[in-house]
Amino acid sequence: MKLLRYGEAGRERPGVLDSAGRIRDLSGHVSDIAGSALSPDSLATLANIDLESLPLVDGNPRIGPCVAGTGKFICIGLNYSDHAAETNATVPSEPIIFMKATSAIVGPDDDIVIPRGSLKTDWEVELGVVIGSKAKYVTEAEALNYVAGYCVVNDVSERAFQAERQGQWTKGKSCDTFGPIGPWLVTKNEVPDPQNLPMWLTLNGETMQNGSTKTMVYGVAFLVSYLSQFMSLLPGDIISTGTPPGVGLGMKPPRFLKPGEIIELGIEGLGKQRQVTKADV
């Protein structure tokens, strides 16, 4: 299934794509794409619904973040060997973990607002993993049992805030609008191998990133297991698993975002995003 949320920001309704790519309303079955609606039993129930029986959503509504009620937005740094090389960084011996504030979450096609004082706002296409049931001390072999599905994430980053202002990376990752997710939460049964997904990003029509989850240092199952040793992963939590090469920081000279630019990005089978950058006022 391709689950989604549509409507005005803060008033989104749950939906699902039918076989023709049309949005069907799911609010008669779940209140939102969140919490217990992401459990294996709930997803199995939704999968048995005749989608043609659901109300058809007219027009082209805004698509919101594909998951609501996210408690933790956990990101993995330098998790692609080729991305580490382009930034002259050493591949970490264990995953680098940092948090992105959940207030950064927006819809896949919402504007990206370049924060005041920013000179180094950057892009990062990433595979997002959405947790479906509580995971604590799980093994790598069983880790995917706790995953509801996958989505596209743009891990927007302000590099000066991240690396030149002291402290943790979080301050460069958490600005408002720095977490576009979606358009869909694609349930894991439609993604047989999360380690074989082509991914791409363009800026003003020019290809910047063209990679694959094949080059992840630490795969999805390992990451879910690893994180669950340190904290409980709860339904709706998102793990953003790192980016392939082609970010602005890695270019010579570096290339960062300016107002009025168009970013498009996607992952095979998970949909695509489109954002316009604008200045904070």
Tens of pLDDT, residue by residue over 196-228, are 999 999 999 999 999 999 999 999 999 999 999
Residue 88: CB atoms within 10 A of its CB come to 7
d(CA 202, CA 186): 22
pLDDT, tens digit (0-9, with 9 covering 90-100), for 23-39: 999 999 999 999 999 99
Q: How far is CA 253 from the centre of its chain?
A: 27
Residue 131: CB atoms within 10 A of its CB come to 27
Name the residue ranges covered by the structural domains of the chain.
2-53, 73-279
Residue 21 is predicted with a pLDDT of: 95
Residue 167 is predicted with a pLDDT of: 74
Residue ranges of the chain with per-residue pLDDT less than 70: none
Assigned CATH for 73-279: 3.90.850.10
- The DSSP secondary-structure symbol of 273 reads E
Residue 86 is predicted with a pLDDT of: 77
Q: Kindly report the pTM of this predicted structure.
A: 0.96
Average per-residue pLDDT in the chain?
96
Give percent of the chain with pLDDT exceeding 90: 92
Q: Give the long-range contacts of residues 27-33, CB within 8 A, separation 24 or more.
A: 28/54, 28/55, 32/5, 32/68, 32/69, 33/3, 33/4, 33/5, 33/66, 33/67, 33/68, 33/185
Do 201 and 180 meet the contact criterion of CB atoms below 8 Å apart? no
d(CA 150, CA 126): 10
d(CA 269, CA 264): 15
Residue 214 is predicted with a pLDDT of: 95
Do 2 and 186 meet the contact criterion of CB atoms below 8 Å apart? yes
- The DSSP secondary-structure symbol of 84 reads H
